[in-house]
């Protein structure tokens, strides 16, 4: 498997528990995501060591600050050897452009994507923070801003994937959390899809955390999702 589509969210409280899972994984099988919990607990050294083991690492810190601060944070993240990193599209065009410019034009630069509307949010949550319209409207608006600023793609729900591919083109990368195999607990996710449906809708990469990391046998859970996807691709 040369281009693994599954990004396992390493949402663990410390390096030891994350590494216990990583020891069972192979860079050909999945990519890895390091988010706020693990990064805050274990630091940049862990990110570098995952990259040194050959894993494509998505550093999910969702930078959202003034343009200068975000640009400098992106440069620091790029120095860790990550494959992908993100900012929050709600930071606006100036911040998005500053982040993109900070990474330069080298072919080795990390991919830079922007979070649109968190997959844990529904239309009711949007009203609370003064966002009008449907989740699809908000995601399309923020993804269009991100596209115009020259970033590589967005984090969105798979429920918006078809619309975004149709509007912004096939090469605009869609990374979708809120992935739930049939019968899996939703937890705090609201805009969800199964792995097979998400790929069919146009997701490029599936971010999957608890359905794998909270499973009794995480490796088996990951393999089962792979099997489900392969059966769909090669019936
Ligand atoms: O809109 C977003 C942006 C990021 N996430 C992150 O993805 C994983 C999902 O984990 P699950 O356990 O599969 O729900 C998690 O690390 C989030 O921080 C997201 O869910 N939605």
Q: Which residues contact 159 (CB under 8 A, 6 or more apart)?
A: 135, 136, 191, 192, 193, 201
26 located within any domain = yes
Which pTM does this prediction carry? 0.98
- CA nearest 205: which of 172, 235, 181, 228? 172
Output the pLDDT for position 212. Answer: 98
Residue 94 above 90 pLDDT? yes
pLDDT, average across residues 140-158: 98
Chain segment 100-133, per-residue pLDDT in tens: 999 999 999 999 999 999 999 999 999 999 999 9
Inform me whether the pLDDT recorded for 151 exceeds 90: yes
Query: How does pLDDT run across 31-62, given as a tens digit for each residue?
Result: 999 999 999 999 999 999 999 999 999 999 99
Ordered alpha helix ranges (H), the chain: 15-22, 36-42, 44-52, 67-78, 92-102, 123-128, 135-148, 161-168, 195-201, 210-213, 218-233
Residue of minimum CA distance from atom 7 in ligand 1: 177
What's the gap in Å between 87 CA and the centre of ligand 1? 14
Q: In the prediction, which pLDDT does 76 show?
A: 98
pLDDT tens digits, one per residue of 214-230? 999 999 999 999 999 99
Dist. CA 170–CA 186, nearest whole Å:
29
Distance 221 CA to ligand 1 centre (A): 17
Mean pLDDT of the chain: 97
Residue from 10, 164, 177 to probe ligand 1 pocket by mutation (most atoms less than 8 Å from CB): 177
Is residue 217 among the annotated active site residues? no
Of all atoms in ligand 1, which is nearest to the CA of residue 35?
16
CATH code at position 96: 3.20.20.70
Q: Are 121 and 135 in contact (CB under 8 A)?
A: yes
Q: How many domains does the chain have?
A: 1
Give the containing element (helix H, strand E) for 208.
strand 205-208
Mean per-residue pLDDT, 186-207: 98
Asked if 62 is an active-site residue, the reply is yes
> Which of 31-42 are b and which e, b meaning 16 or more Cβ less than 10 Å from the residue's Cβ?
bbbbbeebbeeb
What's the CA-to-centroid distance between 2 and ligand 1, angstroms?
A: 24
Domain membership flag for residue 200: yes
**Residue 214 falls within a domain, yes or no?**
yes
Which domain range does residue 192 map to?
6-233
Atom of ligand 1 nearest to the CA of 117: 1
Q: What is the pLDDT of residue 2?
A: 74
Q: Using the predicted structure, report yes or no on whether residue 1 has a pLDDT greater than 60.
A: no
User: Does residue 1 form part of some domain?
Assistant: no
Other CB atoms within a 10 A radius of the CB of residue 193 amount to: 22
User: 5, 65, 125, 137: which one is catalytic?
Assistant: 65
Cα dihedral value 86, 11, 173, 149, nearest 10: -10
The per-residue pLDDT for 74 is 98
d(CA 147, CA 178): 22
Is 167 within a domain?
yes
Question: Which residues line the annotated binding site for substrate?
Answer: 11, 33, 60-69, 119, 180, 189, 209-210
Phi-psi region of 88 (alpha: psi -120 to 50; beta: other; left: phi over 0): beta
Residue 3 burial by CB count (10 A; 0-12/13-18/19+): exposed, middle or buried?
A: exposed
Statement: residue 90 has pLDDT above 60: yes
Q: Give the residue, out of 125, 207, 208, 215, with the most ligand 1 atoms within 8 A of its beta carbon, to mutate for a pocket test.
A: 207
Instruction: Count other C-beta atoms under 10 Å from residue 50's C-beta.
Output: 27
When pLDDT is cut at 50, 70 and 90, the band that residue 65 belongs to is very high
Residue 35 has phi, psi (to 5 degrees) of -110, -165
Q: What pLDDT was estimated at residue 233?
A: 87
Q: Ligand 1: distance of its center to the CA of 120 in Å?
A: 8
Please tell me the residue having the least CA distance from ligand 1 atom 2.
118
């Amino acid at each position: 498997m040369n281009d693994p589509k599954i990004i396992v969210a390493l949402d663990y409280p410390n390096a030891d528990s994350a590494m216990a899972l990583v020891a069972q994984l192979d860079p050909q099988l999945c990519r890895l995501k390091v988010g706020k919990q693990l990064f805050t607990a274990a630091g940049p050294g862990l990110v570098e060591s995952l990259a040194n083991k050959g894993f494509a690492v998505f550093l999910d810190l969702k930078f959202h600050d003034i343009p200068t601060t975000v640009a400098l944070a992106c440069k620091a993240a790029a120095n860790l050897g990550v494959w992908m990193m993100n900012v929050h599209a709600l930071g606006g065009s100036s911040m998005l452009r500053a982040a993109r410019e900070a990474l330069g034009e080298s072919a080795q630069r990390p991919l830079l994507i922007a979070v649109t509307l968190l997959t844990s949010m529904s239309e009711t949550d949007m009203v609370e923070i003064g966002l009008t319209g449907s989740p699809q409207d908000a995601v399309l608006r923020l993804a269009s801003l991100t596209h115009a600023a020259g970033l590589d793609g967005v984090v969105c729900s798979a429920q918006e994937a078809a619309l975004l591919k149709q509007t912004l083109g096939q090469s605009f990368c869609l990374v979708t959390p809120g992935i739930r195999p049939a019968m899996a607990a939703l937890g705090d996710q609201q805009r969800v899809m199964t792995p097979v449906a998400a790929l069919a809708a146009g997701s490029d990469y599936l971010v999957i955390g608890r359905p794998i990391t909270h499973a009794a046998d995480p490796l088996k859970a990951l393999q089962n999702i792979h099997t489900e996807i392969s059966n769909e691709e090669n019936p």
